[in-house]
Amino acid sequence: MKYQKIGDIVLVKKPLSEEEIREIVKKTKCKTVALKTSQIVGEFRRPYIKILYGKETETIHKEHGCLFKLDVSKIMWSQGNIKERERMARISNENEIVVDMFAGIGYFSIPLAKYSNPKTVYAIEKNPIAYHYLCENIKLNKLKNIIPILSDNRNVNLRNIADRIIMGYIHKTHKFLPKAFEILKDKGVIHYHETVAEKVMYERPIERLKYYAKIYNYKLVDYKIFKIKKYAPGVWHVVVDAKFCAC
């Protein structure tokens, strides 16, 4: 039986019989079992679930030594991004200022702030519910180097400040590149996420990065593309570590 365990809550993709529910509760010692009823959708990447057992939907999930409080009926948790959360944890260093443009509940900001210990992480989140958990998670993990900002990232006044920018969003992410170049220092790295057809996986994200870099007087000096997960048949979620300098 395939299931996803987030803290002490179990999410399943297919309806279960009474017996299967009893079995899963016994095996996982979970407090709630819920069925995912649709894809994660919209700007806020909202999940939809139906409770099959129990009633509580808020939990604390532990991963790579970090605590993430969330309500699984309102906030997504992508198991497929686990390696990327781990990779981001040690990507920065004590000299950097980092801007997480799509912070959510702190998926990348929390492990990065904890293990890379940069000067500051500006964690921007537009959804007030996700922002509430972001603030809770900063407290839970006792982090002093994250500044949470409740806003659409396009309205935030941060200019020429970041050594590193995380763009962990897959819905027309390129539309946010003008803002990213406004936030980036003269030299810096953008972690640019995109969902892209396999056929053009190694070309399209780079073309988009070069296109916007040129408009904002930056040059792409180095890059590496990583596959994160298969998103749909023939479509990959990829991230490009793209290094730029102003020209």
Q: Is the Cβ–Cβ distance between 244 and 212 less than 8 Å?
A: no
| 9/24 with CB nearer ligand SAM | 9
Contact 245, 221 (CB under 8 A): yes
In the bound state with ligand SAM, the residue whose beta carbon lies nearer, of 25 and 140, is 140
Radius of gyration from C-alpha coordinates of the chain: 19
CB of 134 to ligand SAM, least distance (A): 9
Q: Which residues bind ligand SAM (CB under 6 A)?
A: 43-45, 76, 78, 81, 85, 102, 104, 107, 124-127, 130, 152-154, 168-169
Cα separation, 75 vs 131, whole angstroms: 11
Least Cβ distance, residue 110 to ligand SAM (angstroms) = 11
Q: CB of residue 126 vs ligand SAM: minimum separation in angstroms?
A: 4
Give the Cα separation of 61 and 58 in Å (integer).
10
Amino acid letter for position 30: C
Rounded distance between C-alpha atoms, residue 194 and residue 7, angstroms: 28
Comparison of 169 and 244: residue with beta carbon closer to ligand SAM: 169
Nearer to ligand SAM, 208 or 237 (CB): 237
Q: Nearer Cβ to ligand SAM, position 52 or 121? A: 121
Q: Report in angstroms how near the CB of residue 202 gets to ligand SAM at its nearest.
A: 21
Classify residue 14 by its DSSP letter: S
Residue owning tokens 């069925």: 35
Residue with tokens 């964690």: 123
Write down the least CB distance from residue 232 to ligand SAM, Å: 16
